[in-house]
Amino acid sequence: MLKKSDPVERILLRNNKLTEKTLGEIKSNQLQTGHYLGKTLVDHGYINANVLLETLSKELSLPFLSFEDFPKSQLPIKEISISETFLKEKTVFPVHLKDNTLTLAVFDPFDLHTIENLKVSLGKNIKIFLSTEQTIIEAIETYYGEGKSTMGRMVGSIKEDEKNITDTDLDTDHIRDMASEAPVIKLVNHIISKATEMGASDIHLEPFAEDLILRYRIDGILHNFEAPPKRLNSALCTRIKIMAELDISERRLPQDGRIKLQVQGKDIDMRVSTLPTLYGESVVIRILDRSNLNVDLEKMGFPKQELKNFQKLIQKPYGKILVTGPTGSGKTTTLYGALQNINTPDKKIITIEDPVEYQIRGINQIHVKPQIGLDFASGLRSIVRQDPDVIMVGEIRDAPTADVAIQAALTGHLVFSTVHTNDAAGAITRLLDMGVENYLISSALIGVLAQRLVRVICRTCIEPVKISSALKVQIENPDQDNLKAFHGKGCKECNNTGFRGRSGIYELLVVDDTIRQLILTKSTSQLIRESARKKGMATLREDGWKKVSKGITTVEEVLRVTVNEQT
């Protein structure tokens, strides 16, 4: 069936899924200790189980089954006498029995001894499929008895003698030992892998008096998931700190770090933040998945006219362009999209960010470090001396940064930045409030883009829906009676949320002569807004209603993200 001369390490090395350096680390640290190498690699986070088995599946021409692929009925459990203990010990599961051929799901396809023993003892021909250890154990638990969850099984594998130990009982050495054990490593890897699989942007691990809460932020909304017991908080935090190269002995001060990991075949950067709270350390992991970074302006949800106008602005040789919105509204992604659009060999582009979330080839990116005096204002002054054509300032937070950015725009540079305001017109008054002179703003500013992110209705379970009377009152749309609306009823594809992915809604204010005159007279944001609307500017909500009618998002989503807006 399989050749012993084709071991797993050779297959992984040949397919660039494993390096000689990693093999050396495993041998020098004596991690394998007689176990199947594939299991060692997965348990210690060197490779994702799905990547391992997908590679073996391709090389060995063996089908790869996920839990969803297992038949839900007519399993050959009663027709064959294999104990649950044996199945768990050997990590195999009987999937199908036809005529005299038994199909087994296995994690280790090189365990020929077990396969041959089953063939002889059962008197059956054996056909094997590949499946992850987690999937096989889950199937055994589901179809043979206890029905424990994946989290429950992993927690159960952690030493019984830790159950009655509290966080305060554990010294640093003991916590380090716990965090270095395979069950804790597997538990952390499972939490990260599950978050990536579900498309989460953040993982929140929060300790409280009686329990530990695990939440994933998916499409901008936090969702609770099954969490480990509170007693494991210190071990989990320590494991995450080790991965992020943080000080595990420091539990009184906040710390920040980064993790680079390959999850499900994708390179993932993670930003880690720890915060000491009343009941232990809270950990938040921001997942920066490069494969999910959409920096194509045409795929961000821009209406045609707004996209055309915005592309005209970013092609200008100098001036200042602001993107505004609350935290998490996609401002940085839009700026990356703009920079990518104009990133040509004839332009030198420099950014200063806090932090640098994604690295873009051909663009010089600077990470601010306030502790050594490298803040936005000082960094920007140095950037100007580097002869750039385009500058991006992550955020304008104070008057010195605003002044230097304005001066750079006035001296022949195209400057991008962000501010936190509710709408496009509000960005102008925010600069005035910071103390920037009105004539400088009028001369330098060429456009302001306000944006929000709305969740996109799942395409699998989308269906029309009637707008309730209560919502009609809030919509304040002249054409609300003819407004078509849709929602997602919830399905497996969207984890029963009704949504999958996010799209932007936009409000683009182009600074023309009329707007410049209003800036010079220090007019209110309301007057600036009304003038821009007379010239065709669509507001955030107006763009939102268009996306509702097209079945992209829901009425509730538009109202949620534009709660303080007026049409």
Among 50, 51, 42, 1, which Cα is nearest to 22's? 42
Residue 567: what pLDDT? Answer: 42
The arithmetic mean of pLDDT across residues 257-272, rounded, is 81
Residue 110: what pLDDT? Answer: 87
Q: Which helix (H) or strand (E) holds 50?
A: helix 49-60
- Contact yes or no for 448/429 (Cβ under 8 A): no
Contacts 24+ apart (CB under 8 A), 476-484: 476/541, 476/566, 476/567, 477/541, 477/545, 477/567, 483/545, 483/548, 483/549, 483/555, 484/548, 484/549, 484/551
Token look-up 């380090």 returns 176
pLDDT digits (tens, 9 = 90+) for 316-372: 999 999 999 998 898 989 999 999 999 999 999 999 998 787 788 899 999 888 878
Mean pLDDT computed over every residue of the chain: 85
Residue 404: what pLDDT? Answer: 92
549 or 176, greater pLDDT: 549
87-96, 321-330, 380-389, 394-403: the lowest-pLDDT one = 87-96
pLDDT digits (tens, 9 = 90+) for 100-139: 888 888 999 888 888 888 888 888 888 899 998 878 877 7
* Residues facing 390 on adjacent strands: 349, 414
Residue 148: both structure tokens together: 């424990």
The arithmetic mean of pLDDT across residues 457-481, rounded, is 80
- Residue 158 to residues 145, 186, 544, Cα–Cα distance (Å): 21, 10, 49
Query: What is the C-alpha separation between 488 and 225, in angstroms, rounded?
Result: 21
